Structure 1
Amino acid sequence: MSNSIINSIGYLRVILFLTYLIDPFNYGYLFGALLIISIITDKLLVEKLDFNFTLLLLFSICYAIFYIFNLELGSQFILIYALFPAGFYLIGKTFNNKSLNNIQLFYLLFASGFIFSLPAMVSVLTSIIDKGFVVIERDVPMIWGGNVIPATNMAAYFVLNMSIPAFLVAGFKKFNLPLKLLMISTFIISVLCVLRLGSRTQLSIFFITFIISLIFLIRRQTVKQNVTLFGILFLIFNVFLSYVSFDKDSDIMSAFAGRMESKKYGAATAGGRTERWTKSIVNLWEKPLGWDVTDFGFSHNLWFDIARVGGTLSFILLLIFTIKNAVNIKKAILLIPQNALLNTAFICYGLSFYLLFFVEPIFDGYFPLFVFYCFFLGIIAQYNINNRAIKNEQNS
Structure 2
Amino acid sequence: MSRIDSSTIKLNLVDLFVVVLIFMYGLSFYLQYSSIMIILLLVTLLFYTHKGLYFNIQVLAISFLFLTYAGFSLVINNENNLITVMSWFCMYLIGFVLMQSSSQNKEKFLKNLLIYGSLGLLIHCYLNVFISGEYYYLRQYYDYWNGNLIKATQLAAWAGTVLGVLYYWFTNFKQQSAIIKVLSILSCLCVLLISLNIASRTLIISILLMLIFVFFEKMKKRKTKEQHFHFLLFTLILFFLVYFLFWFNLWGARDYIEESNLLSRWSNLIHDTNTNDGGRLTIWLYSINHLDELLFGGYNAREAVGELHNLWLDMLDAVGIIPFSFLLIVTFQIINNLRKLLKTNNISNQFVSFMHMWYFFAFIQLFIEPVLNYGYINYLGFFWFVSGGLNGITIRRKEYEYKKF
Tell whether the 8 Å contact from 1:138 to 1:150 is kept in structure 2 after alignment: yes
Runs of 4+ in 1 over 6 A off after TM superposition: 245-249
Alignment of 1:131-210 (within 5 A): 138-210=139-211
> Structure 2: how far apart are the matches of 1:352 and 1:177?
26
- AA of the residue aligned to 2:93: L
> Structure 2: how far apart are the matches of 1:22 and 1:160?
13
Q: Does 1:250 align with 2:253?
A: no
CA deviation after TM superposition for structure 1 residue 350, in Å: 0.6
Tell whether the 8 Å contact from 1:301 to 1:357 is kept in structure 2 after alignment: yes
Structure 2 equivalent of residue 122 of structure 1: 127
- AA of the residue aligned to 1:95: L
- Name which of structure 1's ranges 311-320 and 288-297 shifts more when overlaid on structure 2: 288-297
Name the CA shift for 1:3/1:220 in 2 (closer, same or farther; >3 Å).
closer
> Structure 2: how far apart are the matches of 1:160 and 1:230?
28
Q: Does 1:5 align with 2:14?
A: no
- Name which of structure 1's ranges 176-185 and 326-335 shifts more when overlaid on structure 2: 326-335
Name the CA shift for 1:218/1:27 in 2 (closer, same or farther; >3 Å).
same
Structure 2 equivalent of residue 79 of structure 1: 83
Structure 2 equivalent of residue 394 of structure 1: none
Tell whether the 8 Å contact from 2:161 to 2:361 is kept in structure 1 after alignment: yes
Q: How many residues align?
A: 376
Tell whether the 8 Å contact from 1:124 to 1:193 is kept in structure 2 after alignment: yes
| Pairing partner for 1:94 from 94, 97, 104 | 97
| Pairing partner for 2:237 from 232, 235, 239 | 235
Name the CA shift for 1:337/1:348 in 2 (closer, same or farther; >3 Å).
farther
Query: Secondary structure of 2:91's partner?
Result: helix
Tell whether the 8 Å contact from 1:213 to 1:344 is kept in structure 2 after alignment: no
- AA of the residue aligned to 1:80: T
CA deviations over 1:298-331 (Å, ceiling 9, x no partner):
1110000011112111111101211221121133
Query: Secondary structure of 1:4's partner?
Result: coil
Coordinate RMSD, CA, aligned: 3.3
- AA of the residue aligned to 2:82: I
Structure 2 equivalent of residue 392 of structure 1: none
> Structure 1: how far apart are the matches of 2:227 and 2:343?
22
- AA of the residue aligned to 1:298: E
Query: Secondary structure of 2:372's partner?
Result: coil
- AA of the residue aligned to 2:380: F
- Name which of structure 1's ranges 304-313 and 321-330 shifts more when overlaid on structure 2: 321-330
Structure 2 equivalent of residue 344 of structure 1: 353
Which 5+ residue runs of structure 2 have no aligned equivalent?
Answer: 1-6, 248-253, 399-405
Structure possessing the higher relative contact order (Cα contacts under 8 Å, 6 or more residues apart): 2
- Name which of structure 1's ranges 56-65 and 143-152 shifts more when overlaid on structure 2: 143-152
Which 5+ residue runs of structure 1 have no aligned equivalent?
Answer: 390-396
Name the CA shift for 1:260/1:318 in 2 (closer, same or farther; >3 Å).
farther
State the TM-score, normalizing by the size of structure 1.
0.82
Percent identical residues:
20
> Structure 2: how far apart are the matches of 1:80 and 1:21?
16
Tell whether the 8 Å contact from 2:106 to 2:393 is kept in structure 1 after alignment: no
- Name which of structure 1's ranges 322-331 and 96-105 shifts more when overlaid on structure 2: 96-105
Q: Does 1:323 align with 2:332?
A: yes
- Name which of structure 1's ranges 196-205 and 207-216 shifts more when overlaid on structure 2: 207-216
Structure 1 equivalent of residue 288 of structure 2: 281
> Structure 1: how far apart are the matches of 2:382 and 2:50?
22
